[in-house]
A and B are shown apart, each in its own frame.
Chain A
Amino acid sequence: MTEHSDIDHVSGTSTTGHQWDGIKELNTPLPRWWVITFYLTIVWAIGYWIVYPAWPLLWSHTTGIWNYSTRADVATELANLEKIRGDKMVALGNASLEEIEKNPALLALARARGKTVFGDNCAPCHGSGGAGAKGYPNLNDDEWLWGGSLDQIMQTIQFGARSGHSKAHEGAMLAFGKDGILKKDEIVTVANYVRSLSGLPTAAGYNAAAGAKLFADNCVACHGDNGKGNQELGAPNLTDKIWLYGSDEATLIETISNGRAGVMPAWVGRLDPSTIKALTVYVHSLGGGK
């Protein structure tokens, strides 16, 4: 008698020969519809291999007989999305920046759109929340090199700074040390003077009068008589608490010696006008807008 040759006397079905605590496992066949469904899924799977891209090859993959491509699907979906957005984005394009800010619906739309566009395009430099980094302005604060009004922000986004675009903001911090305009000790003195402008402590033995003189001779052209800066030139206010590159003596010496000329790309042409508007409103609403 082979092991699995037992017939259960209650059901009349054969058993598998397995036993647990005296309970035998019946070898009950599956219902016909179940088995047919199972075979159909196998047939379906084979059909799937043939019809759709399925098998990875060494340098490519089988393409299927319909040339179906999820990539093409995504492109179509994106095109559809643009179509769906159409009306709303047109409304955004037609409203002025001030109107957008006053209209809660448009503001919400602009902020939502602006946030995603910001994440895709601006976050690499300014951070995903616009917090900036050394050399990359924090867009949440109220210090604006080129002005923080809606129009000024839009201008900066459109054409950038030192981007090579003909309408871009120009003007750069000179390299006073590298170009031999100031001597090393003069740079240290003026750096300390700049620190004193915003109430930071100065180094021992520093000559305030000499610092003021050096500042008046070299810096006021851009940063103004009292160091308040000049947005026309992108010259930062040196009397406030915000420092793009840092306010410690070493950093200031570095800045004065070698100059600074960070670049913001121009986005006109890369982003459509209504998207730039949305982005402008978003950045303005981050809180620092004037």
Chain B
Amino acid sequence: MNKTVNPTDLELDDNAPLYAARKKVYPQSVSGTFRRTKWGLMAFCLGVYYLLPFVRWNRGLGAPDQAVLVDLPNSRFYFFFIELWPQEVYYFTGLLIVAALTLFLMNAVGGRIWCGYLCPQTVWTDLFYAVERLIEGDRRERMRKDAAKGTMKLERFAEMLLKHSIWLMIAWWTGGAWVLYFNDAPTLVKQLITFQAPMIAYIWIGILTATTYIFAGWMREQVCVYMCPWPRIQAALTDEWALNVTYKYDRGEARTSLKKANELRALGQPVGDCVDCYQCVAVCPTGIDIRNGSQLDCIQCGLCIDACDTVMTKIGRPTRLIGYDNDINIHRRQEGKPPIYRIVRPRTITYAALIAAVGAIMLYAMLTRTLLDINVLHDRNPVAVKLSDGSIRNAYTVRFLNKRGFDRAIAIDVDGPVNATLHIVGADSVTQDRPVIILARDTTTELRILVTAPAENNPEKSVPVNFRVTDIGLGEVASATDHFVSP
């Protein structure tokens, strides 16, 4: 039934305001499978976030014993048994690729699962709503209190004060937990309490307190609708097989009141299951009507499913009038065919295979990670020097990485031009005819190494030269190859 457009409305339309005032959303409490899932995931996510910095992991003397630590001053990242150096940031690249692919896979299987259950914005907003509900009451009560603007009594003021204080406390804890990942947590907690922590810690706590309070307390669903790019991106990733929170209009329409539905049903006439109770709208944290179909504002949290199921149970109709479903099935049901669900399909197999491949590569790289390493950089300017006796010399900047937690002595060998000699600028102790240097624990050491080929053995234009370091104590060996160039 199309509405006819009244010409006077059009006049008004042209003078419409540039902005729309926000319609405040008052989500109603709900219980059911999805609500319970959300509580569980919230407890898990927040638990991990707040407690992880306090988990200890013994790495031996001198090394930090915090399980997860981003050690910026020393450029190290610790994650349980993994210790990463700045040279190994490619692990993070791999991790980001896996994360992106996981998001794609989740999306291909169940739509915006990330948005509805795992996104920090959702988790903290949900927590803030819980606090609000506890203090100010459920939907109707909150609406009534907000409507009674001019008559705010002391009680109302106390409520607001309490709510915002608790919000700020949660926000403060959020910022506080963040900085604990960057320093030894117990020490930092002590410093924070006694106001002896570095200024940067307080600044970061301040920033995250402010963002958490504003995003989860004030902006709420607007972050998802106006600020987040993911709803726009995921629309391009989804397909007709993805399970989305869907109103099954084939079953629900034509919607009518419960009483009328019962009457029609008694007469044996076709009637939809939707009784237009608006429970799905009342519980929605973004304030939408799921019955309008898939839409950008929907974060797919499934609370409308819980609400609708409750109503359906009460009126004795089958549940899941709203449920995780795909577009294909709506049409199939209308045609009288059974619904089909296909999780294993080319798209999901591809994503899963890619995740497995990247994961396997990372695992391999992790297992074959060396604890003694050498990088060689050939001097480019000049690439080669002719000495007074006619011999040729090349200079290399060599960086040694000792990833072990103790100092060690290493010997350096070079296989290059015939009878080439080796000179290390600034370090000249020699054992068994080989230059030996000490690498301090958990550091990089950079040295200039000069390789000289005698005049009678002047090599061709370019020959390979191999630098080999050997840990005198442990026998660990690392090597790197470069070129020896003649002018």
Q: Are B5 and A5 within 8 A (Cβ)?
A: yes
Q: Are A129 and B16 within 8 A (Cβ)?
A: no
Q: State in angstroms the CA–CA spacing of A122 and B209 once bound together.
A: 52
Interface hits, A1-54 → B, CB 8 Å = 1-2, 5-7, 9-11, 14, 27-36
A128 within 8 A of B: yes
Give chain B nearest CB distance to A196 CB in angstroms. Answer: 16
Give chain A nearest CB distance to B409 CB in angstroms. Answer: 14
Q: Are B382 and A142 within 8 A (Cβ)?
A: no
Q: Are A101 and B426 within 8 A (Cβ)?
A: yes
* Most B C-beta atoms less than 10 A away, residue of A138, A237, A241: A241
With A10-B292, A104-B426 already in contact, the answer to whether A142 and B19 are too (CB < 8 A) is no
With A7-B5, A33-B22, A104-B426 already in contact, the answer to whether A141 and B226 are too (CB < 8 A) is no
Give chain A nearest CB distance to B102 CB in angstroms. Answer: 31
| Count class of interface residues, chain A | 35 or more
With A9-B3, A129-B379, A140-B382 already in contact, the answer to whether A29 and B22 are too (CB < 8 A) is no
Q: Which residues of A contact B21 (CB under 8 A)?
A: 31-32
Q: Are A7 and B19 within 8 A (Cβ)?
A: no
B9 within 8 A of A: yes
Q: Which residues of A contact B292 (CB under 8 A)?
A: 10-11
Across the interface, name the chain B residue whose C-beta is closest to A34.
B226
Q: Are A9 and B2 within 8 A (Cβ)?
A: yes
Give chain A nearest CB distance to B252 CB in angstroms. Answer: 15
Complex partner residue of A285 from B16, B17, B379, B448, CB under 8 angstroms: B448
Across the interface, name the chain B residue whose C-beta is closest to A29.
B20
Complex partner residue of B20 from A9, A32, A142, CB under 8 angstroms: A32
Complex partner residue of A35 from B13, B18, B386, B448, CB under 8 angstroms: B18
Q: Which residues of B contact A108 (CB under 8 A)?
A: 446
Across the interface, name the chain A residue whose C-beta is closest to B381.
A129
Q: State in angstroms the CA–CA spacing of A32 and B226 once bound together.
A: 12
Give chain A nearest CB distance to B249 CB in angstroms. Answer: 12
Q: Are B382 and A29 within 8 A (Cβ)?
A: no
Q: Using a Cβ–Cβ cut-off of 8 Å, how many residues does chain B contribute to the interface with A?
A: 36
Complex partner residue of A30 from B20, B382, B393, B450, CB under 8 angstroms: B20
B387 within 8 A of A: yes
With A285-B425, A287-B395 already in contact, the answer to whether A128 and B16 are too (CB < 8 A) is no
Q: Are B16 and A29 within 8 A (Cβ)?
A: yes
Q: Which residues of B contact A142 (CB under 8 A)?
A: 387-388
Across the interface, name the chain A residue whose C-beta is closest to B426.
A107
Q: Which residues of B contact A102 (CB under 8 A)?
A: 426
Q: Which residues of B contact A29 (CB under 8 A)?
A: 16-20
Q: Are B389 and A240 within 8 A (Cβ)?
A: yes
Q: Are B393 and A287 within 8 A (Cβ)?
A: yes
Q: Are A14 and B16 within 8 A (Cβ)?
A: yes
Q: Which residues of A contact B381 (CB under 8 A)?
A: 127-129, 131
A117 within 8 A of B: no
Q: Which residues of A contact B395 (CB under 8 A)?
A: 140, 286-287
Give chain A nearest CB distance to B229 CB in angstroms. Answer: 16
Across the interface, name the chain A residue whose C-beta is closest to B380.
A129
With A32-B22, A104-B426 already in contact, the answer to whether A140 and B16 are too (CB < 8 A) is no
Q: Are B10 and A5 within 8 A (Cβ)?
A: yes
Across the interface, name the chain A residue whose C-beta is closest to B449.
A287
B427 within 8 A of A: yes
A242 within 8 A of B: yes
Give chain A nearest CB distance to B452 CB in angstroms. Answer: 9
Across the interface, name the chain B residue whose C-beta is closest to A285.
B425
Q: State in angstroms the CA–CA spacing of A35 and B213 once bound together.
A: 22
Interface hits, B1-50 → A, CB 8 Å = 2-3, 5, 9-10, 13, 16-22
What 10 A-B pairs have minimum CB-CB distances, sorted nearest first? A129-B381, A240-B388, A131-B382, A29-B20, A35-B19, A241-B390, A140-B385, A5-B10, A32-B19, A107-B426
Q: What are 12 contact pairs spanning A and B, CB under 8 A?
A: A7-B5, A29-B19, A30-B18, A32-B22, A104-B426, A128-B381, A140-B393, A143-B387, A240-B390, A241-B389, A287-B423, A288-B387
New contact pairs (4) apart from A10-B292, A29-B16, A31-B21, CB-CB < 8 Å: A30-B19, A104-B426, A241-B389, A287-B425
Write the residues of chain B forming the contact surface with A, with a CB cutoff of 8 angstroms: 2-3, 5, 9-10, 13, 16-22, 222, 226, 292, 379-382, 385-390, 393, 395, 423, 425-427, 446, 448, 450, 455
